């Protein structure tokens, strides 16, 4: 959910691309600055060096994660000697290369070793097919529809005893923002854990017998592929630039047809990372995803739970994003559930998440899936989560954190499912 902050109408390296080419981050640094009372100074520096950030614009008495190109490192460092800072990536290009050194997936090996590394997009699709082949009585491959470039938005439907598709629906989305690779792996960990635990774990068996799970690890496949072929830090889909611009992509999570034009929660600038599009739901991915959840909600068994997974910040959040003052009628229940999820996550490894409504907890978000699912689709519950971490590595999270991220998030999910009314 994090977006890059722009202080002028300069094009970013990940947005203003006329001819796609491989982005090179060798020598780039990512630095966390303690803004303190030096807001004007930090804003001036970001503007002067045309820097981007990973966690929104700088705010007083907060921290900002700044991406510094190789040719600006010296000036940046000389200009920040009076500020407390922490290096997140000494050489961003090297960190990306290490993260992207994933092994060739052996077809048919849908087991726990999958979570030892990140993987190519085609291997993710194969992994889902191998899960289905390993557990044919409890799963099937599904598609919500096609992306702009014609890739199926592929998921896996999990179910227990009885006729499939007749239990209340639970829907998970991952990789809405293309660079948030940990979400892909975490959502797949849910699918693997539910299927592999069905025969031996009474709790998991009860969950699959109670709900139909519709799990979509990559709902932005075009953007995800682009992160693996051209630019690891790409966020949006790959929609062509609107008239008068050379910048590609819509932010799918600012494009849902609810509170889409609410001021302050998205950008009208096609070059911005949170560009909402020219019209609500003008991204093909938004259309097919909304149609799919609405179809589930229209069935007699309804849509029980929706969770949209993002990174990074370690948050578990409730509606709404479009307003920092409006809450749901059952907000007290929502906050109790969210606090319980956070406690369950912490109980595993001690990882600290924060809970609360989206807008006051992270920032204002208009045209989001959670708000749409809440007020249009009428899902009984809708949440979003920001996974690991809180600023040690940001989007480029080492592979050795994949498994613990999945394990702790699954603990939170089990608590949630056990406590829904």
Among this protein's residues, is 386 annotated catalytic?
yes
Q: How far apart are CA 128 and CA 111, in angstroms?
A: 11
Q: Counting beta carbons within 10 angstroms of the beta carbon of residue 74, is it exposed (0 to 12), middle (13 to 18) or buried (19 or more)?
A: exposed
Angle between helical axes of 181-197 and 121-134 (0-180°, round to 10): 10
Residue partners of 40: CB distance under 8 A and separation at least 6 = none
Among the options 63, 180, 188, 386, which is catalytic?
A: 386
The three-state secondary structure class of 352 is: coil
Q: How far apart are CA 37 and CA 93, in angstroms?
A: 32
Parallel, antiparallel, or unpaired for β 354-357 and 152-158? unpaired
Q: How far apart are CA 166 and CA 79, in angstroms?
A: 61
The three-state secondary structure class of 354 is: strand
Q: Which helix (H) or strand (E) holds 331?
A: helix 331-349
Which residue bears the tokens 């291997």?
123
Q: How far apart are CA 360 and CA 357, in angstroms?
A: 6
From the centroid of its chain, how far is CA 215? Answer: 14
- Other Cβ atoms closer than 10 A to 281: 20
* Closest by CA position to 181, among listed 217, 141, 130: 217
How distant, in Å, are the alpha carbons of 112, 194, 204, 250, 387 from that of 200?
Answer: 16, 11, 8, 43, 28
Contact 144, 153 (CB under 8 A): yes
Contact 173, 290 (CB under 8 A): no
The three-state secondary structure class of 200 is: coil
Q: How far apart are CA 153 and CA 122, in angstroms?
A: 12
> Which residues belong to the active site?
386
């Amino acid at each position: 959910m994090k977006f890059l902050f722009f202080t002028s109408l300069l094009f970013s390296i990940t947005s203003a691309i006329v001819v796609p080419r491989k982005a090179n981050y060798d020598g780039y640094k990512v630095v966390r600055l303690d803004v303190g009372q030096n807001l004007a100074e930090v804003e001036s520096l970001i503007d002067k060096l045309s820097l981007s950030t990973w966690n929104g614009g700088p705010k007083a008495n907060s921290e900002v994660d700044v991406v510094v190109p190789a040719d600006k490192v010296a000036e940046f460092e000389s200009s920040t000697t009076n500020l407390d800072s922490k290096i997140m990536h000494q050489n961003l290009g090297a960190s990306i290369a290490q993260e992207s050194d994933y092994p060739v997936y052996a077809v048919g090996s849908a087991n726990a070793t999958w979570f030892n590394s990140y993987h190519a997009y085609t291997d993710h699709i194969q992994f889902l097919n191998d899960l289905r082949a390993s557990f044919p009585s409890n799963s099937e491959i599904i598609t919500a529809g096609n992306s702009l470039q014609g890739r199926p938005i592929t998921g896996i439907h999990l179910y227990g005893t009885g006729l499939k598709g007749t239990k209340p629906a639970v829907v998970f989305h991952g990789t809405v923002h293309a660079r948030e690779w940990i979400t892909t792996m975490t959502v797949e960990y849910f699918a693997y854990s539910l299927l592999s635990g069905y025969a031996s774990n009474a709790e998991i068996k009860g969950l699959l017998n109670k709900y139909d799970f519709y799990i979509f690890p990559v709902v932005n496949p075009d953007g995800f592929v682009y992160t693996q072929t051209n630019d690891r830090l790409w966020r949006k889909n790959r929609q062509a630039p609107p008239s008068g611009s050379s910048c590609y992509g819509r932010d799918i999570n600012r494009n849902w047809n609810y509170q889409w034009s609410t001021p302050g929660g998205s950008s009208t600038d096609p070059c911005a990372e949170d560009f909402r599009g020219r019209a609500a739901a003008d991204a093909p991915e938004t259309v097919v995803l909304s149609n799919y959840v609405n179809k589930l909600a229209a069935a007699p068994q309804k849509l029980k739970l929706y969770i949209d997974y993002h990174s990074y910040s370690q948050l578990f959040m409730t509606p709404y994003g479009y307003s920092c003052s409006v809450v749901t009628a059952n907000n007290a229940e929502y906050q109790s559930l969210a606090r319980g999820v956070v406690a369950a996550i912490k109980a595993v490894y001690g990882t600290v998440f924060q809970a609360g409504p989206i807008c006051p907890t992270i920032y204002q978000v208009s045209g989001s899936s959670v708000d749409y699912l809440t007020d249009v689709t009428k899902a009984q519950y809708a949440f979003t989560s920001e996974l690991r971490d809180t600023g040690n590595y940001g989007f480029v999270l080492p592979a050795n954190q994949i498994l613990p991220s999945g394990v702790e998030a699954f603990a939170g999910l089990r608590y949630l499912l056990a406590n829904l009314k």
